[in-house]
Chains A and B, each alone.
Chain A
Amino acid sequence: MPWLSILMGVPVVGALAVAAVPKGNAKLAKQLTLAVSLVVLALTLVMASQFDPSGPRDQFSEVHSWIPSFGVHYAVAVDGIALVLIALAVVLVPIVVLASWHDADQPEAKRSVKTYFALILVLEAMMIGVFAATDIFLFYVFFEAMLIPMYFMIGSYGGAQRSYAAVKFLLYSLFGGLLMLVAVIALYTVAGKGTFLQPELIGVIKDPATQKWLFLGFFIAFAVKAPLWPFHTWLPDAAAQAPAGAAVLLVGVLDKVGTYGMLRFCLELFPDAAKFFTPLVITLSVIGIVYGAIVAIGQTDMKRLIAYTSISHFGFITMGVFAMTANAGSGATLYMVNHGFSTGALFLLAGFLINRRGSQYIEDYGGVRKVAPILAGTFLIAGLSSLSLPGLSTFVSEFLVLIGTFQRYAVPGVIALSGMVLAAVYILWMYQRMMTGPTAEKVKAMPDLNLREKFVVAPLIALLIGFGFFPAPLLNVINPAVEQTLTSVQAPQFTPAVPATAEKKGPGQ
Chain B
Amino acid sequence: MEPAEIVQHSGGVIGVSWLTIVLPLLGAAILLLGGRRSDRWGHFLGVAMSLASFVVAALVFFELLGLGADQRRRLVQLYEFLPAGTVDVKLGLLLDPLSISFALLITGVGSLIHIYSIGYMAHDPDRRRFFAYLNLFVAAMLLLVLSDNYLGLYIGWEGVGLASYLLIGFWQHKPSAAAAAKKAFVVNRVGDMGLALGIFVIFTTFGTLSFGPIFSHASQASQGTLTLIGLALLVGACGKSAQLPLQSWLLDAMEGPTPVSALIHAATMVTAGVYLVVRSGAIFEGAPTAQLVVTIVGVATLLAGAIIGTAKDDIKKALAGSTMSQIGYMMLAAGLGPVGYAFAIAHLIAHGFFKASMFLGAGSVMHAMNDEVDMRKYGGLASVMKITWITFGLGYLAIIGFPLLSGYWTKDGIIETAMEHNAILGWLAVAGAGITGFYMSRVFFMTFHGERRWDKDAHPHESPAVMTWPLIILSIGSVFGGAFLIAGNRFMEFLAPAVGRPEEMPSFQPFSLTGLVTLALVAVGVVYAWLKYGRSAVPAVAPRGSFLTVFARRDLYGDALNEALFMRPGQWLTRLAVFFDNRGVDGLVNGLAALIGGTSGRLRRVQTGFVRSYALSIFFGAALLVGAWFVVGNL
Using a CB–CB cutoff of 8 Å, the interface residues on chain A facing chain B are 144, 148, 151, 155, 163-164, 166-167, 170-171, 174, 177-179, 181-182, 185-186, 210, 213, 230, 232-233, 291, 294-295, 297-299, 325-331, 334, 367, 369-370, 377, 384, 389-391, 395-396, 399-400, 402-404, 406-407, 410, 413-414, 417-418, 420-421, 424-425, 428-429, 431-432, 435-439, 469-472, 475-476, 478-479, 482-483, 494-502, 504-509
Q: Which residues of A contact B629 (CB under 8 A)?
A: 182, 186, 213
B527: CB under 8 A from chain A? no
A377 to B136 CA separation, bound complex (whole angstroms): 15
Sample 22 A-B pairs with CB under 8 A, ordered by A number.
Answer: A174-B615, A181-B618, A210-B633, A294-B573, A298-B574, A331-B84, A369-B172, A391-B155, A396-B82, A400-B87, A402-B196, A403-B199, A406-B201, A420-B193, A421-B186, A421-B193, A436-B172, A476-B83, A496-B205, A496-B208, A498-B205, A500-B207
Q: Which residues of A contact B186 (CB under 8 A)?
A: 421, 424-425, 428
Are B614 and A171 touching (Cβ within 8 A)? yes
A407 to B199 CA separation, bound complex (whole angstroms): 11
Q: Which of B179, B196, B212 contacts A502 (CB 8 A)?
A: B212
Q: Which residues of A contact B585 (CB under 8 A)?
A: 230, 232-233
Are A429 and B182 touching (Cβ within 8 A)? yes
Q: How many B residues, CB 8 Å from partner?
A: 86
The secondary-structure label for the interface of chain A is helix
Q: Which of A151, A390, A437, A496 contacts B158 (CB 8 A)?
A: A390
B577: CB under 8 A from chain A? yes
Are B83 and A472 touching (Cβ within 8 A)? yes
Are B217 and A506 touching (Cβ within 8 A)? yes
Are A233 and B200 touching (Cβ within 8 A)? no
Q: Which of B200, B216, B589 contacts A403 (CB 8 A)?
A: B200
**Beyond A370-B173, A498-B207, 8 extra complex contacts between A and B, CB < 8 Å:** A170-B614, A327-B87, A369-B172, A403-B200, A414-B197, A472-B81, A499-B207, A500-B213
A406 to B204 CA separation, bound complex (whole angstroms): 8
Q: Which of A233, A389, A396, A436 contacts B162 (CB 8 A)?
A: A389
Q: Smallest distance from the beta carbon of A419 to chain B beta carbons, Å?
A: 10
Q: Smallest distance from the beta carbon of A385 to chain B beta carbons, Å?
A: 12
* Surface stretch bound by A, among B418-426, B479-487, B550-558, B600-608: B600-608
> What is the count of residue pairs linking A and B with beta-carbon distances less than 8 angstroms?
230
B559: CB under 8 A from chain A? no
Chain B positions 207 through 221: 1 when the CB is less than 8 Å from some CB of chain A, otherwise 0: 110101110110111
Are B175 and A171 touching (Cβ within 8 A)? no
A209 to B5 CA separation, bound complex (whole angstroms): 57
A499 to B577 CA separation, bound complex (whole angstroms): 43
Q: Quick one: closest B residue to A428, CB to CB?
A: B182
Are A498 and B220 touching (Cβ within 8 A)? yes
Are A403 and B179 touching (Cβ within 8 A)? no
Are A178 and B159 touching (Cβ within 8 A)? no
Are A432 and B603 touching (Cβ within 8 A)? no
Q: Which of A295, A438, A495 has its CB near the most chain B CB atoms (within 10 A)?
A: A295
A181 to B621 CA separation, bound complex (whole angstroms): 10
Are A299 and B84 touching (Cβ within 8 A)? no
Q: Quick one: closest B residue to A186, CB to CB?
A: B629
Q: Quick one: closest A residue to B632, CB to CB?
A: A213
A-B complex: 9 closest residue pairs judged by Cβ atoms: A326-B85, A496-B207, A436-B178, A327-B85, A500-B217, A298-B578, A500-B213, A390-B155, A233-B586
Are B213 and A502 touching (Cβ within 8 A)? yes
Chain B positions 343 through 376: 1 when the CB is less than 8 Å from some CB of chain A, otherwise 0: 0000000000000000000000000000000000
B41: CB under 8 A from chain A? no
Are B206 and A498 touching (Cβ within 8 A)? yes
A23 to B193 CA separation, bound complex (whole angstroms): 56
Q: Quick one: closest B residue to A499, CB to CB?
A: B207
Q: Smallest distance from the beta carbon of A234 to chain B beta carbons, Å?
A: 8
